[in-house]
Amino acid sequence: MVVVATALQSVWDWARCGCAWAGLGLSSGRLGSCRVATDGSGFMKSGNTIGKGARAGIVASAALLAAFGAAVTAPGEAVAQAYPTKPIRLVITLSPGSAADAIARVVGEGLSQQLGQPMVYENRVGGGGTIGANAVAKADPDGYTLLVVTNTHTMAPALFNQIPYDTFADFAGITPLGISPHVLIIAPSQNINSIKDLVAAAKTRPGGITYAAVVASGTHLNGAHFIKTMGIEGRMVPFKGAPESITEVMTGRVDIYFSPILPALPHLQDKKLLGLGVTSKVRSAALPDVPTTFANGYADSEFGLPFYFFAPGKTPRPIVNQLYEATVKVLQTPAISSRLKDLGIDPLPMKPEELDAYIKTQVVSEAEQVRAAGLTKQ
């Protein structure tokens, strides 16, 4: 810093001499020298002439000053040009084998190729997604710790009295990785083949039915909404992720689960599970034989599971933009785009600033849905 300051002072001295001479209209055919003498006001005294050598020095110094100014006014660009230089940690808030885990690894593989650095996956499960989110919120904002999370992120403010971070300020949106509807699943051994049959059975059972869910997630909200809308009794059984929930439904220990399509898909294809409806207005390309919940007697049932991609809140904007551009390239790769479609995941394109704004609207929307479903804060 001392060397830089000295250099800048020299440049400034040259520039001040040049300005003083130019203002006085002095010129000479002979070489002149520059005396940096002042009268106490910070302005130089005149009394010398400038020659070609001095004039050339002024031009060179001005160029140096301009170059240095350009360098110091764009630190973010310099950071982005150097990024990344080491492995990137990708925190996933749901368990291995979940939809969020699967899409994070599919996209992460492509990002590794785009950015030239390996991705290190870390499943930080629990707390309705807040444990993993907090780890990223508190991480250094240097682009080397990123987050994949579902709408647990936007539901948490409505479901928890306290969360250890600011949902908005502590995260910088990159882009959504996609969105998937839920599929209402049940074990074939239950001998229930439609939502109408399920509601009828629930009304004959003491205590109604049980539904699996990840606390403070879309599966939780969807299950609670279904119970209330259908006017039946039900009890939520909490699990860490989709794999555990699906296993319990297949065994019959839990009655139903509003599952993301991806983890339920192989079990539906093998007939180990039965799909009663997909929570969208049109059938899913991944499950063309499963009717929509709308067509199967469950109105107001359009629930999607978004997969959000975040960096810590103070990550330099050039790095966020670089991650956004790399992610979009990955998602638009024909092989990956086709793979995600086959897994029941649809595109949800947004730029970083659009995702930040979208999160704010979703927090409000999710709070209204939580109240409507009768869920209370914990």
> In the prediction, which pLDDT does 70 show?
45
> In the prediction, which pLDDT does 47 show?
41
> In the prediction, which pLDDT does 3 show?
37
pTM of structure:
0.76
Give dist(CA 268, CA 249) in Å, integer.
12
Q: Which residues of the chain have pLDDT under 50?
A: 1-75
Selection from 236, 235, 234, 254 nearest residue 244 by Cα: 254
Are 38 and 45 in contact by the 8 Å Cβ rule? The answer is yes
Give dist(CA 244, CA 33) in Å, integer.
83
Are 212 and 230 in contact by the 8 Å Cβ rule? The answer is no
Are 290 and 259 in contact by the 8 Å Cβ rule? The answer is no
pLDDT tens per residue, range 313-330 = 999 999 999 999 999 999
Give dist(CA 146, CA 288) in Å, integer.
34
DSSP structure class, residue 305: E
Instruction: Find the radius of gyration of the CA atoms of the chain.
Output: 31
> In the prediction, which pLDDT does 375 show?
87
pLDDT tens per residue, range 144-172 = 999 999 999 999 999 999 999 999 999 99
Two tokens at 194? 């439609």
Q: Where does residue 77 rank: exposed (0-12), middle (13-18), buried (19+ CB within 10 A)?
A: middle
> In the prediction, which pLDDT does 27 show?
38
**Which domains, from first to last, does the chain contain?**
2-73 (no CATH), 84-378 (3.40.190.150)
Give dist(CA 75, CA 65) in Å, integer.
17
DSSP structure class, residue 43: P
